[in-house]
Amino acid sequence: MSDASYRIGIDVGGTFTDFVLAHRTRASLAFHKEPSVPGDPSLAVERGLAALFASHGVRPDEVELIVHGTTIGLNAIIQRRGARMALVVSKGNRDLLEIARLRLPSSYDFTVPREAPLVPRDLVFEVSARMRSDGSLITPLDPAEVDALAEQLAAAKVDAVAVVLLNAYRDASLELALAEALAPRLPDVLVTSSGTIWPEVREYERGLVAGLNAYIHPLMTRYFDRLESRVAGKGVTAPIYITANNGGTLSLKTARERPIDTVLSGPASGVVASTKVGGAGGRAKLVTFDMGGTSADIAVCQAGVPEFTTTTFVGDFPLMMPVVNVGAIGAGGGSIVWVDKAGLLKVGPLSAGADPGPVSYGRGGTEPAMTDCYITLGIIDPATFLGGRMVLDVAAARAALEGIADTLGYTGAPGGPDRAVQAATAAVDVASAKMATEITKLLATAGVDPRDFALVAYGGAGPTHASLLAEEAQMGTVLVPTAPGTFCALGAILADVRRDYVRTARHTIGAVAPGRSGWPAIAAIIDELEAEARAWLATEGNLVGEADVSVSFNLRYGCQAYEIEIIVPPAERDGIDEAGITERFHAEHDRLYGFREDETPIETATVRLGVIGRVAPVALPEPDAATPEPRGHRPVWHRGAQVRAAVYQRADIGRGAVIAGPAIVEQLDTTTFVLPGWRAVADRLGTLHLSREAAQ
């Protein structure tokens, strides 16, 4: 009988598809990077699985779970290459996507064109079926009208249809009846109902959620079918789960039905892994820093768990579903260094990408990128990049940076940095300031002190730049996990199954007259959502064990324009009552704005519930204690001076090892720079804790 205890995490990127192979109980991890195949990402998955099985002696029947993250849906939305789709709305609402929120793209530039609607107006169709704002029926479905609509949709040759009827957030039955009536009449068309995807008030945003789901539905269904076929072709019978926007995972069946839940899953997996690594190292307050080739993704975790937002964007479109709160800025290893018309040095947002890539790649790139700066400063060894598989051209990088120096008027310093080093130093400083500004804004919004937080650095360039960023952002600690380059794939197999539910609930609670409180109605909604969530969870497979729920409320004082979200974590689910929720709101309002009004009634807007199906955790390896010796030394430029840095190999660093800066730690997927005056200590998982010597 086989030991089906291996799990495989997969993260599809633009350049590489990352794999992590873990045994659930033996505390062993293996990593693999397979070149991505943009035309058919599932082909890279098939090749990577074959390589994993061959190189590590694992049989397909020993795999119990595959968890897969992909950006296919996100890229389709951003690049506007989703399905040809139609939108069905209530009569009189045909301009739903055209009108949107009646806001200009820019308050300062009237020449900026607004974004093109997701669905062209000639593919928006009206029906007379209608409900009131309380969910009661005004006009029922007309079978003859449904037949005529189906004929119009068939003639339009659409691949998908989104149904968004007025007030369907109150009761989705009319909308669902229309969707179910259209489905058999259009057997080759995928039909989405907004009330079953995300029934929250705000018609435009609800329409976008349904529209985006329909837009990528055919594309994602085809991809999931190919993925399932290729995985089965390798002899794997284990279930496939897909990473979700909320940091959890979904069965392939649910992901097929609700692909919108997966579009922002890639960055979320890295945040999940960061909380696990941070928790093992005794750090709950984290800023995650995923610096890849094009951008840096940043998230704040205040209590050792991912934090969520409902105000993010997918391309041009707002997405009001809960997603892990990750912000992106255009500063990555491939970000181009340039000088604007005013003579100011800039980094990004344009990127050299993987092809042609930075100038040092030797693939035809002519504009210097951040990677060119790192090798010019000596932080990255051009001879050992990617373990020596790709030798970088330092002379070409220096020549490109000298062009930047000439534009800026740098002349070099006698006995000090030359022009190329001056330009590289300035570019690194600009990138650090740019990213530190974003971190400072996020932490200031949360009302917390950056000195209390640790920066978790991953991605190919994250550990390289992390200490420089930490100094700029006044953060005292950096955590570098053992395999930063495949960290999101690791996060995929560390995540539990999760799905979120929502109901609009406009009631008054707190300081109201006896018998007038809306709390009984809210409590009934919570019970209804929990029952629905647990019923869904029961269909998600045998690996799902004990279930928890978290509940959140959007609340405000009367006549306020915006709500405050109050979150009740799973551990406190049984203690949800009116007194507790009102006190949480008053206290949070006081923390954010400096006052509370205990005698003022509180208005509720939305109730959300997240169900978490616990999956048996993966045991992470703990390296043996070892004191490393440097493999050599090399000069590195830092703040205009050259320092002699000891060079270590990450594989030599065991538990409890201490490395004093300046130092360089090299490994296959990244390079870590330990600044002068800092030191690195390896914890029980091998995670490097970088901090200032004075703070020890």
Confidence of residue 579 (pLDDT cuts 50, 70, 90): very high
Confidence of residue 363 (pLDDT cuts 50, 70, 90): confident
- Whether 116 and 192 map to the same domain: the answer is yes
Q: Number of structural domains, the chain?
A: 4
- Decide if 683 is inside a domain: no
- Confidence (pLDDT) at 96: 92
The amino acid present at 9, given as its one-letter code, is G
Q: How far apart are CA 32 and CA 347, in angstroms?
A: 31
- Whether 84 and 185 map to the same domain: the answer is yes
- Decide if 568 is inside a domain: yes
- Is the separation of the CB atoms in 45 and 12 below 8 Å? yes
Mean pLDDT (whole number) for 607-621: 91
Confidence of residue 1 (pLDDT cuts 50, 70, 90): very low
Lowest mean pLDDT among 294-298, 303-307, 486-490, 497-501: 294-298
Lowest mean pLDDT among 362-366, 386-390, 475-479, 668-672: 386-390
- Whether 523 and 595 map to the same domain: the answer is yes
- Is the separation of the CB atoms in 419 and 408 below 8 Å? no
Mean pLDDT (whole number) for 415-434: 92
Instruction: State which of 230, 262, 294 marks the end of a domain.
Output: 262
- Confidence (pLDDT) at 24: 86
Instruction: State which of 429, 460, 488 marks the end of a domain.
Output: 429
Percent of the chain at pLDDT exceeding 90: 65
Instruction: State which of 591, 615, 639 marks the end of a domain.
Output: 615
The pLDDT tens digits for 152-199 are 999 999 999 999 999 999 999 999 999 999 999 999 999 999 999 999
The b-or-e profile of 191-216 (16+ CB within 10 A means b, else e) is: bbbbbbbbbbbebbbbbbbbbbbbbb
- Whether 15 and 139 map to the same domain: the answer is no
- Decide if 505 is inside a domain: yes
Mean pLDDT (whole number) for 50-58: 92
Say if strands 508-509 and 497-504 run parallel, antiparallel, or are unpaired: unpaired
- Decide if 309 is inside a domain: no
- Whether 162 and 231 map to the same domain: the answer is no
- Confidence (pLDDT) at 305: 86
Hey, what are 149's tokens? 């609509």
Given a cut of 90, is residue 583 above it in pLDDT? yes
- Whether 86 and 190 map to the same domain: the answer is yes
Confidence of residue 377 (pLDDT cuts 50, 70, 90): very high
| CATH number for the domain harbouring residue 200 | 3.40.50
- Decide if 485 is inside a domain: no
- Confidence (pLDDT) at 354: 66
| DSSP code string of 418-439 | -HHHHHHHHHHHHHHHHHHHHH
Given a cut of 80, is residue 388 above it in pLDDT? no
Q: How far apart are CA 421 and CA 206, in angstroms?
A: 52
- Confidence (pLDDT) at 2: 54
Specify the higher pLDDT residue, 349 or 342.
342
Hey, what are 36's tokens? 């991505």
| CATH number for the domain harbouring residue 25 | 3.30.420.40
- Decide if 441 is inside a domain: no
- Whether 92 and 63 map to the same domain: the answer is no
Residue 513: count of CB within 10 angstroms of its CB: 8
The three-state (H, E, C) secondary structure of 482-523, written as one string? CCHHHHHHHHHHHCCEEEEEEEECCCEECCCCCCCCCHHHHH
Given a cut of 70, is residue 38 above it in pLDDT? yes
Beta carbons within 8 Å of 669's beta carbon, 6+ residues apart: 31, 33, 386, 460, 483, 484, 485, 486
- Whether 563 and 582 map to the same domain: the answer is yes
Write down the mean pLDDT value for the chain.
90
Given a cut of 90, is residue 448 above it in pLDDT? no
| CATH number for the domain harbouring residue 585 | 3.30.1490
- Whether 193 and 248 map to the same domain: the answer is no
Given a cut of 80, is residue 694 above it in pLDDT? no
Per the structure, the complete domain to which residue 503 belongs is given by 497-615
Stated pTM of the model: 0.87
- Confidence (pLDDT) at 696: 47
List phi, psi (to 5°) of 372. Answer: -60, -35
Using the structure block, give the residue that is written with the tokens 């099985």: 53
Helix axes 265-280, 487-494, angle to 10 degrees: 80
- Decide if 482 is inside a domain: no
- Whether 84 and 206 map to the same domain: the answer is yes
Residues β-bridged to residue 691: 477, 679
- Whether 65 and 13 map to the same domain: the answer is yes
Mean pLDDT (whole number) for 230-235: 94
Q: How far apart are CA 17 and CA 14, in angstroms?
A: 8
- Is the separation of the CB atoms in 29 and 8 below 8 Å? no
- Decide if 670 is inside a domain: no
Q: What is the dihedral of CA 585, 591, 594, 595, to 10 degrees?
A: 20
- Whether 535 and 596 map to the same domain: the answer is yes
Confidence of residue 475 (pLDDT cuts 50, 70, 90): very high
